[in-house]
Amino acid sequence: MLQVSCHRSNGGVDVTTVYLEATRMYFGGRRLWFRCPRCDGRCRVLYGTWRIACRRCHRLRYLSQRETKEDRATRAMLKIVRRLKPNDPDPCNDLPEKPPGMHWRTYDRLIERYEGYIEQWGLAILRRWHTARLTTLSGERWWCPQNHIEHGSSRGKQRHGEST
């Protein structure tokens, strides 16, 4: 059992009790866990802001959980570039030459994967562009390619010279 004191800016002190729990390891020894004071779950790390609690109770997320589809594709492409040219101090997303000692089959597989990520990135960018809604200050809706393609709005067709 641990007593954790948190000093507030107004001079007050909050005291929280944190319990420890031990579990046995398969090949001997034991592992200590904190028990979250809020949800009573086992955790390795407790975070403190206005309260001491685990990551789930604070609703903290990993950086990769907040990434967009474009960010995921960009990160995957950069990972392939780093694998092909590990000593580059400033890698960019351009695909480098095959490094010496790498099998052509491995290089071809990485190129295919890289091209798949480029396609995912492009589709994610197009989706973002298609879902963008352009409005004027008065709230009048402008023509958007998504309206013409998916909904077949008469406004979009008239802009392309087609009659309704």
Ordered per-residue pLDDT tens for the chain, 164 residues: 878 777 777 878 778 888 999 999 999 999 999 999 999 999 999 988 778 889 899 888 888 888 888 999 999 999 999 999 988 888 776 788 999 999 999 999 999 999 999 999 988 888 877 765 444 444 555 444 444 433 333 444 444 444 44
Dist. CA 91–CA 52, nearest whole Å: 40
pLDDT of residue 51: 81
Dist. CA 83–CA 98, nearest whole Å: 10
pLDDT of residue 125: 86
pLDDT of residue 127: 81
pLDDT of residue 148: 42
Q: What interhelical angle do 104-131 and 69-84 show, nearest 10?
A: 160
User: What is the reported pTM?
Assistant: 0.52
Q: Which two tokens stand for residue 36?
A: 């979250």
For 89, list phi and psi in degrees, rounded to 5. -70, -25
Nearest to 45 by CA among 58, 59, 33: 33
